[in-house]
């Protein structure tokens, strides 16, 4: 499963990025600081109404966390991406986005661009809206996002807690795209991050080319549901 | 948390029975109380809310779960919008726990969950599509149909990050009640699911009651 990086860049903390990634490409994210967070959304560039559906993703794989072996499902029963490598064992599926009203409530002083230039306090909510607008999308199109590198647990009574020190510098996660996917990312802090002030934690991005998965693929085999998800993708690509 | 209501059905301003596999769309005004009543037990009411003033603002499962710090809904829970505002507050609940993580059944996701040939069975998502097509006056399209509440469903999360589907904890006559904090469009699919044993493969009617 080795693949050469065809492109690398760094996404600083508190910033956003998007790209149409082709079927068969890989996206590897490497945390540069402890407790990094990357918000992720997926859309089908050929039909922007098809988008990441976290409830379907969780339900199909009987999981509350996402890690290696899991797949990310669209609302149309197809797989956008498989998680082919993961150093962390847990990525958050319920935390959602840092919202503008959180900043003061958390004691994080909002800082404007005029004050701080590129060190201003962007929220994940606004970061996604900016990227969505580039594709003609808006507030009604913002699906529930994944929070890569972050861990939020639930106890037996359903009480949620954010786990600090989950992500260490150098931790890496790789997504392999199973269909063409418009990927939106931001590096704004997790909304439950207890840091005293707005934390600025970036990630390295590397894009590569994957080997085509076969029926021995760990993501294909991890659940019978995923074999059917891959079958839906084969149907979608029939004749291509 | 079990809290019984003091409201009496004979004083309701509207009462609507929704059969299994049917949908309901309508407006609940700020200050009104909506009760969803599980008439025969173990039914799931897959529900979405939209701000009537601006339908781009809608119920958000993730904002709700995070802001209340808990994955289940019950009396006292606030239903939070995609803009971080309280849409409704749950004021009574005789069931004790409702799911908002599991999403709705769809013909497409049923192919993944159950079998590729299960696509041809009725589903909540198809039901919502029928509702928005039948009622263009609300201005909703597929892009508005997002993560929902499954009233009366029991989907426990385990401490190590698993998600399990348990038999319903509802029973005939159990209900959940909520007061609207803004004018909301309520969109309900009364689940027609025939693949999941949680309803004993026998989808049954619910009733929606509204009080001033
Ligand atoms: Zn359903």
Distance from CA of A4 to the nearest CA of B (A): 32
C-beta atoms surrounding B166 within 10 Å: 12
Q: Given the structure tokens 């769809």, which residue do they identify? A: B106
Query: In which element (H, E) is residue A87 found?
Result: none
CA–CA distance, A50 with A137 (Å, rounded to integer):
12
Would you say how long chain B is, in residues? 212
| A153 touches B at CB < 8 Å | yes
Residues of B in contact with A225 (CB under 8 A): 112-113
| A117 touches B at CB < 8 Å | no
Q: Measured in angstroms, how far is the CA atom of residue B193 from the centroid of ligand 1?
A: 5
Q: Measured in angstroms, how far is the CA atom of residue A56 from the centroid of ligand 1?
A: 12
Q: Given the structure tokens 């949908």, which residue do they identify? A: B23
Q: Tell me whether residues B102 and A59 touch, CB distance under 8 A.
A: yes
pLDDT tens digits along A74-84: 999 999 999 99
Q: Is residue A31 a contact partner of residue A167, using CB atoms and an 8 Å limit? A: yes
pLDDT at A3: 55
Region A75-94 average pLDDT: 98
Percent of chain B clearing pLDDT 70 (strictly above): 100
Residue from the list A55, A155, A232 with its beta carbon closest to the beta carbon of B103 = A55
Tokens describing residue A169: 């510098």
Work out whether the CA dihedral A216, A222, A227, A229 comes out positive or negative: negative
Helix, coil or strand: residue B146: coil
- So what's the ipTM on this one? 0.96
Tokens describing residue A77: 């029963």
Q: Is residue B132 a contact partner of residue B138, using CB atoms and an 8 Å limit? A: yes
pLDDT at A1: 44
pLDDT at A2: 47
φ and ψ at residue A108, rounded to 5 degrees: -95, 110
Residue from the list B72, B103, B115 with its beta carbon closest to the beta carbon of A53 = B103
DSSP structure string for B159-189: TTSBB--------TTEEEEEEESS-EEEEEE
pLDDT greater than 70 at residue A45: yes
| Rg of chain B on CA atoms, in Å | 16
Q: How many CB pairs under 8 A join A and B?
A: 137
DSSP structure string for A150-211: --EEE-TT-BEEE-TT-S-TT-EEEEEESS-EEEEEE-PPPTT---SS-----EEEEEEEPP
Q: Tell me whether residues B113 and A59 touch, CB distance under 8 A.
A: yes
Tokens describing residue A91: 């990525």
Residues of B in contact with A63 (CB under 8 A): 161-163
Would you say how long chain A is, in residues? 240
CA–CA distance, A161 with A158 (Å, rounded to integer):
10
Residues of B in contact with A156 (CB under 8 A): 156, 158-159
Distance from CA of B14 to the nearest CA of A (A): 30
Q: Is residue B50 a contact partner of residue B188, using CB atoms and an 8 Å limit? A: no
Residues of A in contact with B55 (CB under 8 A): 140
CA–CA distance, A85 with A67 (Å, rounded to integer):
8
Q: Which of A62, A140, A155 to mutate to test the interface with B (most CBs of B within 10 A)?
A: A140
pLDDT at B196: 87
Region A36-63 average pLDDT: 98
pLDDT tens digits along B153-210: 999 999 999 998 887 789 999 999 999 999 999 999 999 999 988 888 999 999 999 9
pLDDT at A206: 98
Beta-bridge partners for A161: A153
CA–CA distance, A111 with A109 (Å, rounded to integer):
6
Region B35-56 average pLDDT: 97
């Amino acid at each position: 499963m080795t693949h050469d990086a065809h492109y690398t860049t760094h996404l600083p903390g508190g910033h956003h990025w998007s790209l149409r990634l082709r079927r068969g490409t890989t996206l590897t994210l490497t945390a540069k600081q402890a407790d990094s967070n990357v918000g992720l959304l997926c859309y089908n560039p050929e039909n922007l109404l098809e988008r990441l559906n976290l409830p379907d993703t969780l339900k199909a794989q009987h999981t509350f966390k996402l890690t290696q072996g899991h797949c990310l499902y669209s609302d149309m029963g197809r797989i956008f991406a498989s998680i082919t490598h993961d150093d962390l064992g847990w990525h958050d599926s319920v935390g959602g986005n840092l919202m503008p009203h959180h900043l003061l409530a958390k004691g994080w002083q909002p800082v404007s661009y005029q004050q701080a230039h590129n060190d201003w306090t962007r929220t994940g909510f606004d970061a996604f809206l900016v990227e969505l607008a580039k594709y003609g999308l808006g507030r009604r199109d913002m699906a529930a996002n994944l929070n890569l590198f972050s861990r939020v647990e639930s106890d037996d009574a359903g009480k949620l807690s954010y786990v600090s020190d989950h992500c260490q510098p150098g931790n890496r996660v790789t997504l392999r795209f199973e269909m063409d996917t418009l990927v939106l990312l931001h590096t704004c802090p997790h909304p439950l991050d207890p840091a005293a002030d707005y934390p600025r934690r970036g990630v390295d991005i590397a894009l590569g080319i994957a080997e085509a998965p076969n029926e021995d693929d760990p993501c294909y085999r991890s659940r019978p549901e995923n074999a059917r998800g891959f079958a839906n993708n084969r149907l979608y690509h029939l004749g291509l | 948390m079990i809290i019984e209501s003091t409201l009496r059905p004979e004083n309701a301003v509207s009462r609507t029975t929704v059969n299994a596999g049917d949908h309901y769309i309508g407006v609940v005004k700020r200050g009104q109380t909506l009760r969803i009543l599980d008439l025969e037990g173990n039914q799931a009411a897959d529900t979405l809310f939209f701000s009537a003033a601006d339908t781009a603002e809608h119920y958000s499962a993730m904002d709700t779960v995070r802001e209340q710090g808990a994955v289940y809904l019950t009396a006292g829970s606030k239903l939070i919008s995609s803009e971080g505002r309280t849409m409704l507050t749950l004021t009574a609940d005789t069931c004790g726990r409702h799911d908002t993580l599991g999403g709705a059944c769809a013909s497409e996701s049923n192919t993944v969950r159950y079998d590729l040939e299960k696509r041809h069975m009725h589903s909540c998502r198809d039901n919502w599509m029928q509702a928005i097509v039948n009622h263009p006056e609300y201005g909703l399209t597929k892009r508005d149909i997002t993560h929902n509440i499954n009233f009366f469903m029991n989907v426990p999360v385990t401490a190590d990050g698993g998600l399990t589907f348990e038999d319903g904890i509802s029973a005939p006559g159990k209900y959940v009640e909520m007061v609207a904090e803004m004018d909301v469009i309520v969109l309900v699919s009364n689940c027609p699911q025939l693949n999941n044993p949680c309803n004993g493969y026998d989808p049954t009617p619910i009733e929606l009651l509204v009080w001033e």
